[in-house]
Each structure stands twice: as C-alpha cells, then as structure tokens.
Amino acid sequence: MLSIGFRTLELKKLYPLAISRGTMASSENLFVTVSDGEHVGIGELSPATGSVWTAERGKAQLEEFTILDNPHDNYAAMRAAAIDPPAIAALDCALWDLLAKRAGLPLYELLGLPRRSVPTSVTIGINPPEVTRERVPDILRRTHAKCLKIKLGSPQGREHDQAHFTAAAEAAAPFNVALRVDANGGWTPAETLMMDTWLAERGVEFIEQPLAAGYEADLPKLAACRLPIYLDESCKFASDIPAWASLVDGINLKLMKCGGITEAVRIVAAARAFGLKTMIGCMSESSIAIAAGASIGALFDYIDLDSHLNLDPDPATGAENHDGTILPAILPGHGGHLKN
C-alpha cells in the first residue's frame, strides 16, 4: 500500500522571468512524496506563467486520487481523471523515483539510458536592453553555459524584440555561446517571417513557438522560414504530433506540460517516428523536477533545463551542473532531494 505526502514551498527567482504572457518572480511549487514503507520517491509540481495549474489545485486533485503502483497504469488513470498535467508529473516522477530506488539503480539506468546529455541553454527573459546587457554576462559566468535562449515576443512589439536581442547577443559575444530564441507564441505569421530573416542574419540556431498555441493552422504560412521551427506550447502530448509534424522541425516537451516521464518518453518516440528533433524544457522547477528531466537527457538533441540555476535559493540538490551540462546525480532514483 502506497502512501502520499505533500509539501508546498515558495521558490524565489534570482532574476524575474518575463515572457510574452507575463512575468514570474516566484512560484509556489508542490513537492509530492510516495512511500511504500521502505523507500520514498519524490516529484514536483511547478506552475507555468499565467496558468490555472496551481500547487493548491494540484494537491486537492491528488488527495482524491487512488495511486496505482505501476507508473504506466497510474498515468493513464490520472489522465482519465482529468488531473492537471503538472500534478500528474509530480506523482509520475515520484513513482519512477520510487521504482528506481527499489531497484537500487539510478533512474537513467532503470530506463536503459546512459548518463549523457548535451549542454543546456540558459534563459534571459524579456527586459529593457540596458537590463539585458547587465544580466547576460552574470548568467553566463555563473552557469558556464554554452547556449543562451533569448525570450522574445515582447508586448511592446518587434522593435523591442530586436533591441533586446541585440543587447543580449552583444553581451554574450565574449562568451562564444550559441544563440536560440523563444517567442512563446507572441508573433503573427507575418512577424515570424520578418523576424526569421532578421534572426537568421544574426546566427540564431532556431526559433521556438513563434505562433500562439491554438493557431497551428497558420503553420503552413511559415514554410519560407530559413531557421528551424520548434513547437513548445503546441505540443503537450504524443497525440498532438501527427497533425503538424510535416510543418515544423522539432518539439520541446516539458514534464509539467505532458505529465511526467511516462508521457515524455512517448513524445520522444513519436517525434523520432516523424523525423523531428527533440528538446526538453522546464517551467519554474527546482532540482527535484530538473533531476527527473535530466535522467532522460540522453534522449534529446537539445536541453533547456535551467530553471534551478535561477533560484534564490534552490531548495533541492541532484541536478548537477557540469560546465554547462546538467546531469543527474549517481544515486538510486532520479537523484533529486530536498535539502531539509
């Protein structure tokens, strides 16, 4: 018989993160534990900016749910019960953590994966150019990052996007990092085509989620884009992929968005079947959820697991930064642990 426990913590960000939909300076995250009396697994719920998927709501949903021991069966039952994806993710990751601890194996080994990854990008939110110029060097020095993701889609328009990008690129130039951009659905098709040309001339690797979720019917209008297009908010579950797979180059999955490791592995399989590149991102997680994501890091072409690097402080350990690459601790389970 499994027992469940809850703990809610406020996680404060070192730098507030502004995206096209709003700004988040802190988040209330729910930590979920599952115990079999001998081993304890832990997972985490982290809300997205402007989302109704809160810690309080997720806790209420999970308190009414009867846990199943098998993660696959449990995931299907949670989806059938219409539980919020971040709450599903918290329990799903806790169950996988528990299963690996029972086996005495790191989760990546239990899943048949190597402890391998690629460098993570670190993120600079939408800011006035003078703020961007100040923050980017600090972020890159602290994290030893090799890739910088620049949030665009400013409500102030594309001129502000260009000024912010230019400030970020110039501040990052001494660090010789790769540049990526994420519009978080803040552009129209016409704006995307314009920004694509402008960004391609400045050495950007790819554009993430240029159009708002729900506007996937406009993706054919982006056929002339020079840069690869990745979808994030438009891709929640594996079943989303077939409808637009021929129109984009890759997907960015998030454990909080899909409901944890069980569905994340399915999304990767579906993406690969359609010839798409893969990325794993994050919301506002601590090292608990980041460790779970890092445990499947070997599956991805790109990694965006950096939220714990912008916490003041991170209440957990287990997602180790090895010169800009996030790897799980070599411990049974996913390796994430709350400090106290």
pLDDT digit string (tens) for 168-220? Answer: 999 999 999 999 999 999 999 999 999 999 999 999 999 999 999 999 999 99
Same-domain status, 69 and 128:
no
CA 70 to chain centroid, in Å, comes to 25
Kindly tell me the sign of the dihedral angle through the C-alpha atoms of 329, 237, 79, 50. Answer: positive
Let me know how many helices (H) and strands (E) the chain has, helices first.
11, 15
Which three-class secondary structure state does DSSP give residue 143? Answer: helix
Q: What digits encode the pLDDT tens for the residues 320-332? A: 999 999 999 999 9
- Which among 274, 307, 271 is positioned nearest to 291, based on CA atoms? 307
Do 47 and 75 touch, CB atoms closer than 8 A? no
Count of beta carbons in the 10 Å neighbourhood of residue 37: 8
Report the number of distinct structural domains present in the chain. 2
Residues 6+ positions from 266 with CB-CB distance below 8 Å = 237, 238
Residue 323, C-beta contacts closer than 8 angstroms, at least 6 positions apart: 144
Domain boundary (79, 104, 129) is at 104
User: How far is Cα 86 from Cα 130, in angstroms, rounded to an integer?
Assistant: 35
Kindly state whether residues 116 and 53 are assigned to the same domain. no
Confidence check: pLDDT of 157 > 90: yes
C-alpha 276 chain-centroid distance: 18
What's the rounded mean pLDDT across residues 103-120? Answer: 98
In this structure, are 206 and 236 located in the same domain? Answer: yes
* Residue-averaged pLDDT of the chain: 97
Q: Does one domain contain both 268 and 284? A: yes
Distances in Å between the Cα of 182 and the Cα atoms of 150, 153, 215, 337 are 6, 8, 16, 30
What distance in Å separates the CA atoms of residue 298 and residue 101, rounded to the nearest whole number?
Answer: 20
Alpha-carbon separation of residue 91 from 5, 164, 249, 325 (angstroms) = 10, 38, 31, 26
Q: Please, what is the Cα angle at 261 between 103 and 207, to 5 degrees?
A: 145
- Average pLDDT of the residues in 288-304: 98
Specify the CATH number for the domain of residue 64.
Answer: 3.30.390.10
User: Same structural domain for residues 302 and 247?
Assistant: yes
Same domain, 223 and 161: yes
Residue 177 and residue 48 share a domain:
no
Asked if 134 and 91 sit in the same domain, the reply is no
Confidence (pLDDT) at 109 = 98
pLDDT of 120: 98
Q: Residue 247: which CATH number?
A: 3.20.20.120
pLDDT band at 48 (very low <50, low <70, confident <90, very high): confident
Out of 52, 74, 104, a domain closes at 104
Q: What is the pLDDT of residue 101?
A: 98
HSE-up of residue 218 (Cα within 13 Å, Cβ side): 17
What is the DSSP-derived secondary structure letter of residue 66? P
Mean pLDDT throughout 75-91?
98
d(CA 62, CA 60) in angstroms, rounded, equals 6
Q: Mean pLDDT throughout 102-110?
A: 98
Residue 51 pLDDT > 90: no
Domain that holds residue 45: 3-104
Using the 3D structure, point to which of 104, 129, 146 is the last residue of a domain: 104
